[in-house]
Amino acid sequence: MRSIILIAPPAAGKGTQSDLLVEKYGFAHISTGDMLREVAKHDDAIKAKLENGELISDDIVFSLLHDRLASDDCNKGFILDGFPRNVNQAIKYDEMIKDMDVTSNVVIFLDIDKDIACKRIVGRVSCPNCKRVYNDMIPESMPKVSGKCDDCGELLVKRSDDNSETFGKRYDVYYENTAPLINYYEEKGVLYKVDSGMSKDVVFNNIENILDNLNN
């Protein structure tokens, strides 16, 4: 059972690469946020904390994660999305998987130039009807007719928070909080950096090469 941790700043394509990994390798995609929201459906205490924006204790998160990793769909391997968030969680996670059937822990850092990431966010527009996403700042992602969906002709819309100021703040906070985690995994020798500023297929090919070479 292989553990894959994806570390990625905003607009690095973590969701896209997770989907491709699931499709190619049959890995389980595990989001701690999704796990907590599922538990909140029948746990009023967790529901109240989430609704109030309070942090859920590590003990609860690790208990849920431990149970989730025991599921059959994790046998081939799993992708951790949004976890760990800090070095303390990373250390505790390393301790937890020592007692589980985890053969390797691979950390892939999807690195991306800030300007490229900004274009992905600021130029993003989507169809409110069929949900297809475009980007009016990246040539290969532009709609054929400006402002209209290629598939259904609906007028494209833009999210109000997809602006350079909001993105800049998110990006800087991310790196400030994540830098110690990147250093931790680099020192352990399990961190692999991938340039995610390229096309999704090129990025995925590079991730494939990392995973396949580790099997040899």
- Find the catalytic residue in 92, 114, 170, 193: 170
Exactly one of 47, 49, 68, 85 is catalytic; which is it? Answer: 85
- Annotated catalytic residue within 2, 14, 119, 120: 14
Count other Cβ atoms within 10 Å, centred on residue 25: 15
170 a catalytic residue: yes
Pairwise CA distance, residues 70 & 81, whole Å: 17
3-state secondary structure of 57: coil
Q: What's the CA gap between 110 and 11, in Å, rounded? A: 10
Active site annotation includes 14? yes
Q: Whose CA is closest to 23, among 216, 193, 201?
A: 201
Please say if 159 is a catalytic residue: yes
What residue ranges in 46-190 does DSSP mark as E strands? Answer: 77-81, 104-111, 124-126, 133-135
Match 């494209």 to its residue by tokens.
Answer: 156
Report the C-alpha gap between 22 and 18 in whole angstroms. Answer: 6
Tokens 């691979």 correspond to 106
Q: Report d(CA 162, CA 154) in Å as an integer.
A: 20
Give the burial string for 85-104 (b: 16+ CB within 10 Å, else e): eeeebbeebbeebeeeebee
Q: Using an 8 Å Cβ cutoff, are 66 and 92 in contact?
A: no
Q: Which of 24, 76, 158, 159 is catalytic?
A: 159
Quick one: which of 213, 8, 19, 212 has its CA closest to 107? Answer: 8
Active site residues: 14, 85, 124, 159, 170
